[in-house]
Amino acid sequence: MGFNILITGGAGYLGSILTPALLEAGHRVTVLDSFMFGQNSLAQLCAFDEFDVVRGDARNLNVIKPLVAKADIVIPLAAIVGAPMCDSDTIAATSTNLDAVRDLVGLLSRNQRILMPITNSGYGVGEAGKECTEESPLRPISLYGRTKVEAEKVALDRGNAISFRLATVFGMSPRMRIDLLVNDFVHRAVTDRTVVLFEAHFKRNYIHIRDVARAFIHGIDNFDGMKNLAYNVGLSDANLSKLELCERIQKRAPNFVYLEAAVGEDPDKRDYIVSNARIEQTGFMPKYSLDDGIGELIKGYRMIRNSVYGNV
């Protein structure tokens, strides 16, 4: 018998992949979303009796209280996502990414569970040649990173929670985002056939969006053995620099040209490599490679070429 699951922000980039995966796994899912991007990414799910959707703001306690009361598990995806979007509206970023999570946690009984998504950008700038583990210091360098790191602490301090520190996510989704790094570079390879790289040696880790959904389901299925810890979720063979990422893309898109700029800076200063050993030791292994994602993105961008799909 499945759980009653509440997902705030469940019509977004990740939620529109996670929600059908949870329904397929036998759970009952209620999505709360403001639909701020005008998306209809969950339209195909409306025929399912186990699915319900509420239009509203996750910061509104009058909206969220009755939904929380019926939930066994809460997944707070609602967020202002990405450094540029957070910097453009710092009040909305703080109130959504942190204050709303704090309010949500305050409504939960001890038996209700939280699966908390944050970002591994909280590691900021790592030590050269040294992998960031869940015990590494968190030194976020953006408002987005700071709000998510603080939200993780709120959830884990409360207990009966799992936090997933997600690598940079890639792959197609019904509510697409082309501003994420892999998605962005493949979009440029397909549409412009070129990109100019600033600080091309900066490294980060990557993960396919469908593997993120699988990680959440893995956490639900193995909750008692995983609870009250944070887990890095990424591809262990994909700790890559921007230059190395472009090399991988060029193998699938031979006409793609990438150039390194001699001057200039990347506004996103993250630079680290990550160990995903902790979650792998629980039995979780990603199924989708970086090359799988590049191939599907190339197909996807033959269909969409609209900047509305970016969080910038």
Residues 300, 306, 309: CA angle, nearest 5 degrees: 80
**112 has pLDDT over 90:** yes
Phi and psi, residue 71, nearest 5°: -100, 140
pLDDT reported for residue 310: 62
pLDDT reported for residue 312: 58
**Range(s) within the chain of domains with CATH label 3.90.25.10:** 181-204+237-273+288-309
Mean pLDDT in residue range 159-165: 98
**128 has pLDDT over 90:** no
Task: Note the CATH number of domain 181-204+237-273+288-309.
Answer: 3.90.25.10
The CATH number of 4-170+206-233, from 3.40.50.720, 3.40.640.10, 3.30.10.20, 3.30.230.10, is 3.40.50.720
Beta bridge partners of 157: none
**Range(s) within the chain of domains with CATH label 3.40.50.720:** 4-170+206-233
In this prediction, residue 307 has a pLDDT band, given cuts at 50, 70 and 90, of low
pLDDT reported for residue 22: 98
pLDDT tens for each residue of 199-217: 899 999 999 999 999 999 9
Terminal C-alpha separation, the chain: 41
Beta strand residue intervals within the chain, DSSP E: 4-8, 28-33, 51-55, 73-76, 113-119, 131-132, 161-166, 168-170, 194-197, 203-208, 229-233, 239-241, 257-260, 273-274
Mean pLDDT in residue range 103-115: 97
